[in-house]
Amino acid sequence: MVMADPHIEQLKAFLGQHGYNIEEMRLAIQVLKSNRIAAAHPSDPTTTSSEIQTAIDRLFSSSHPKRPIALKALKVLELLAEELNETLFLKTD
């Protein structure tokens, strides 16, 4: 859905300025989103940054080749939240 957004070129440029590849990030965020509930906190549909970190830790061992991409995806979400001044993570504490 995000790839069809009329502002996709601005998002690509923003990510590129911060050293990120949009396609890698899109795939990593999709993996984290689909696995967050089962891996991090199955009884609560809200998501926090620390829960995504928990999902990363459970899904990707420290030597897993995709771990750096997953960590970048989390950083991108945090960066976007800051840039947009929007809450992309729901606080549960």
Query: Residues near 58 by Cβ (< 8 Å), separated by ≥ 6?
Result: 39, 40
* Inside any domain, residue 78: yes
* Inside any domain, residue 33: yes
Q: Which amino acid is at 63?
A: S
Q: Among 11, 3, 5, which Cα is nearest to 30's?
A: 3
* Inside any domain, residue 64: yes
What are the pLDDT digits (tens) for 60-91? Answer: 889 998 888 888 888 887 887 777 776 666 54
| Residue 16 pLDDT > 80 | yes
Q: d(Cα 82, Cα 66) in Å, to the nearest integer?
A: 25
* Inside any domain, residue 67: yes
* Residue 32 domain boundaries: 2-38+46-84
* Inside any domain, residue 66: yes
Q: d(Cα 88, Cα 63) in Å, to the nearest integer?
A: 28
Q: Which amino acid is at 29?
A: I
- The domain total for the chain is 1
Output the pLDDT for position 2: 61
